[in-house]
Structure 1
Amino acid sequence: MGDASAEEQKAAQAAPPAGPSATAADASPPTPFDALRLLSRQGALRTEGCLRQLLSKYHGVEGLVAMNGGLPPQASFPLTSLQFGVAGVAEGETEAVELSPEQLAGSQQYNIAPAGFPPLQRWAAAHVAALHAPPGPHRVLLTAGASQGLELVCSLFLDDGDCLLVEEFTYPQARTRSAGQQAASRHRGRRQPGCMLECNLAPRSCRVLPVPMDHDGMLPFQLEQASLSLLSAAANVLEQAAAAGGPQPKLLYTVPTGQNPTGACTPLERKRAIYDICSRHGLLILEDDAYQYLQFPAGPLRPPGLAGLPARSSYLSLDTQGRVIRLDTCAKFLAPGLRLGWAVAAPAVVGKMTDLLNAQTLGPSGLSQGIAYRLLETWGGEGLERHLWRLQAGYAASAAALHAAARRHLEGLAEWREPRAGMFMWLRLLGVEDASDIQEELREARVVVVPGRACHPRASDPSFRCPFVRVSFSHLPPEELEEGMRRLGAVLHSLQQQRQ
Structure 2
Amino acid sequence: MLGLSTNIKYLINCKNDYSENLNHRFKKMEPHPEEVYMTYSKRDGYITFGQGYPSESIFPIQKIVIKLEGIDEDITFTQNELEFSQQYITGPYEALSDLLRKFQIHYHGLSDWKLENRKWDVCVTNGAQQGIAVIFRTMLEEGDTILAEKYTFGGIFLTTLPFNINIVGIETDEYGMIPESVEKVLSNWDSSVKPFPKMFYLIPIAQNPTGAIMNQQRRNDLYQLAIKYKMIILEDDVHYFLQFPKTRESVFTNNGNFRTDNLDLESSFLSMDTEGIVLRVDTFSKILSPGIRFGFITGPKQLVDVFAVETCAMDFHNSTMTLLIMYKLLSIWKFEGFNRHIRFTHLTYMDKRDQMKKLLDKYLDGLIEYKIPQGGMYFWVKLKGVANSWEFYRKYLFPKKICFGVSGYFQSPNESFFSNYLRISFTVGTLDEIEIAFSHLSNSLKEFNQNKN
Query: Normalization by structure 2: what TM-score?
Result: 0.89
Matched residue of 2:123: which SS?
Answer: strand
The answer to whether the aligner puts 1:455 opposite 2:410 as a matched pair is yes
Q: Letter of the aligned partner of 1:480 in structure 2?
A: E
Q: 1:219 is matched with which residue?
A: 178
Which digits, 9 at most, give the CA deviation of each residue in 1:235-283, with x for residues without a partner?
2111233365431111110111111111111112211110110011010
Q: 2:84 is matched with which residue?
A: 106
Q: Letter of the aligned partner of 2:273 in structure 1?
A: D
Which digits, 9 at most, give the CA deviation of each residue in 1:50-76, with x for residues without a partner?
579733998654x33345544334334
Aligned in 2, Cα 1:429/1:335: closer, same or farther, shift over 3 Å? same
Is the contact between residue 198 and residue 231 of structure 2 (CA under 8 Å) also seen in structure 1? yes
Is there any run of 5+ residues in structure 2 with no aligned partner, and where?
Answer: 253-258
**2:185 aligns with one of 222, 237, 242:** 237
User: How many Å apart are 1:499 and its aligned residue?
Assistant: 3.6
The answer to whether the aligner puts 1:255 opposite 2:203 as a matched pair is yes
Tell me how far apart the structure 1 counterparts of residues 35 and 294 of structure 2 sit (CA, whole Å): 22
Q: 2:283 is matched with which residue?
A: 329
Is there any run of 5+ residues in structure 1 with no aligned partner, and where?
Answer: 1-10, 20-28, 175-196, 221-231
Aligned in 2, Cα 1:131/1:306: closer, same or farther, shift over 3 Å? farther
Between 334-343 and 302-311, report the one with greater CA deviation: 302-311
Is the contact between residue 142 and residue 342 of structure 1 (CA under 8 Å) also seen in structure 2? yes
User: How many Å apart are 1:297 and its aligned residue?
Assistant: 3.8
User: How many Å apart are 1:148 and its aligned residue?
Assistant: 1.0
The answer to whether the aligner puts 1:144 opposite 2:126 as a matched pair is yes
Q: 1:209 is matched with which residue?
A: 168
Matched residue of 1:87: which SS?
Answer: coil
Q: Letter of the aligned partner of 2:436 in structure 1?
A: E
User: How many Å apart are 1:42 and its aligned residue?
Assistant: 1.6
Q: 2:420 is matched with which residue?
A: 467
**Structural mapping, 1:330-349, within 5 Å:** 330-349=284-303
Aligned in 2, Cα 1:434/1:58: closer, same or farther, shift over 3 Å? closer
Tell me how far apart the structure 2 counterparts of residues 422 and 386 of structure 1 sit (CA, whole Å): 18
Matched residue of 1:469: which SS?
Answer: strand
Q: Letter of the aligned partner of 2:182 in structure 1?
A: A
Is the contact between residue 330 and residue 338 of structure 2 (CA under 8 Å) also seen in structure 1? yes
User: How many Å apart are 1:456 and its aligned residue?
Assistant: 1.1
Between 52-61 and 199-208, report the one with greater CA deviation: 52-61
The count of residues paired between Structure 1 and Structure 2 equals: 437
Is the contact between residue 260 and residue 336 of structure 2 (CA under 8 Å) also seen in structure 1? no
**Structural mapping, 1:46-445, within 5 Å:** 46-50=29-33, 54-55=37-38, 60-61=43-44, 63-90=45-72, 95-112=73-90, 114=91, 116-134=92-110, 137-174=119-156, 197=157, 199-220=158-179, 232-242=180-190, 245-298=193-246, 300-303=248-251, 307-311=261-265, 313-439=267-393, 440-445=395-400
Aligned in 2, Cα 1:246/1:151: closer, same or farther, shift over 3 Å? same
Is the contact between residue 9 and residue 110 of structure 2 (CA under 8 Å) also seen in structure 1? no
Is the contact between residue 235 and residue 280 of structure 2 (CA under 8 Å) also seen in structure 1? yes
Aligned-pair Cα RMSD in Å? 2.6
Tell me how far apart the structure 2 counterparts of residues 217 and 306 of structure 1 sit (CA, whole Å): 30
Q: 1:37 is matched with which residue?
A: 20
User: How many Å apart are 1:312 and its aligned residue?
Assistant: 6.9
**Structural mapping, 1:475-494, within 5 Å:** 475-494=428-447
Is the contact between residue 41 and residue 51 of structure 2 (CA under 8 Å) also seen in structure 1? no
Matched residue of 1:385: which SS?
Answer: helix
Is the contact between residue 176 and residue 214 of structure 2 (CA under 8 Å) also seen in structure 1? yes
User: How many Å apart are 1:380 and its aligned residue?
Assistant: 3.2
Is the contact between residue 300 and residue 397 of structure 1 (CA under 8 Å) also seen in structure 2? no
Tell me how far apart the structure 1 counterparts of residues 89 and 378 of structure 2 sit (CA, whole Å): 36
Aligned in 2, Cα 1:311/1:443: closer, same or farther, shift over 3 Å? closer
Q: Letter of the aligned partner of 2:420 in structure 1?
A: P
Between 303-312 and 428-437, report the one with greater CA deviation: 303-312
Which digits, 9 at most, give the CA deviation of each residue in 1:457-483, with x for residues without a partner?
25873xx21111111111123333333
Q: 1:226 is matched with which residue?
A: none
Aligned in 2, Cα 1:53/1:145: closer, same or farther, shift over 3 Å? farther
Tell me how far apart the structure 2 counterparts of residues 243 and 70 of structure 1 sit (CA, whole Å): 49
Is the contact between residue 302 and residue 393 of structure 1 (CA under 8 Å) also seen in structure 2? no
User: How many Å apart are 1:48 and its aligned residue?
Assistant: 4.2
Matched residue of 2:25: which SS?
Answer: helix
Matched residue of 1:200: which SS?
Answer: helix
Q: Letter of the aligned partner of 2:446 in structure 1?
A: H
Matched residue of 2:317: which SS?
Answer: coil
Q: Letter of the aligned partner of 1:164 in structure 2?
A: I
Runs of 4+ with >6 A deviation: none
Aligned in 2, Cα 1:460/1:318: closer, same or farther, shift over 3 Å? closer
Tell me how far apart the structure 1 counterparts of residues 396 and 414 of structure 2 sit (CA, whole Å): 20
Matched residue of 2:67: which SS?
Answer: strand
Is the contact between residue 39 and residue 51 of structure 2 (CA under 8 Å) also seen in structure 1? no
Query: Normalization by structure 1: what TM-score?
Result: 0.81
Aligned in 2, Cα 1:348/1:69: closer, same or farther, shift over 3 Å? same
Tell me how far apart the structure 1 counterparts of residues 334 and 177 of structure 2 sit (CA, whole Å): 36
Tell me how far apart the structure 2 counterparts of residues 400 and 18 of structure 1 sit (CA, whole Å): 39
Among all aligned residue pairs of Structure 1 and Structure 2, give the percentage whose two residues are the same amino acid.
25
Tell me how far apart the structure 2 counterparts of residues 360 and 49 of structure 1 sit (CA, whole Å): 18
Is the contact between residue 167 and residue 414 of structure 2 (CA under 8 Å) also seen in structure 1? no
**1:496 aligns with one of 426, 449, 452:** 449
Tell me how far apart the structure 2 counterparts of residues 56 and 88 of structure 1 sit (CA, whole Å): 45
Aligned in 2, Cα 1:470/1:299: closer, same or farther, shift over 3 Å? farther
Q: 1:4 is matched with which residue?
A: none
Tell me how far apart the structure 1 counterparts of residues 130 and 39 of structure 2 sit (CA, whole Å): 22
Aligned in 2, Cα 1:311/1:395: closer, same or farther, shift over 3 Å? closer
Which digits, 9 at most, give the CA deviation of each residue in 1:174-227, with x for residues without a partner?
2xxxxxxxxxxxxxxxxxxxxxx3x1111100111111101211111xxxxxxx
Q: Letter of the aligned partner of 2:25 in structure 1?
A: Q
Matched residue of 2:66: which SS?
Answer: strand
Matched residue of 1:88: which SS?
Answer: coil
Q: 1:5 is matched with which residue?
A: none
